[in-house]
Amino acid sequence: MRGLPESAAAELLESRYGLLPAQVAREIVTLTHANPLARSEIAARLTSAQLAGGEPLPAPLPGGARHEELAAAILAHTAG
């Protein structure tokens, strides 16, 4: 799945979580390659302090359940 343009990904992130510090939004968008599903699921697993920029984002970012299922399916298909 191709990612959104960075500005569109940041706008979607803001529409769901409100105005985030620029460095937090940029890091989430960059690390998820602007993938809307990954961005949404990962942001949902972050704490309010992480989203506010008061605590660093975890490295690596936590994956979402659907994102992890998709990755597993892709790996199974390519391995088989």
| Cα 11 to Cα 29: distance, rounded to the nearest angstrom | 10
Distances from the Cα of 59 to the Cα of 42, 63, 70, angstroms: 12, 11, 21
* 51, 77 contact by CB (below 8 A): no
74, pLDDT greater than 60 = no
Give per-residue pLDDT as tens, 36-71. Answer: 777 778 888 889 999 999 999 887 777 655 555 555
| DSSP-assigned letter for residue 9 | H
Domain regions of the chain by residue span: 6-79
Give the chain's mean pLDDT.
Answer: 78
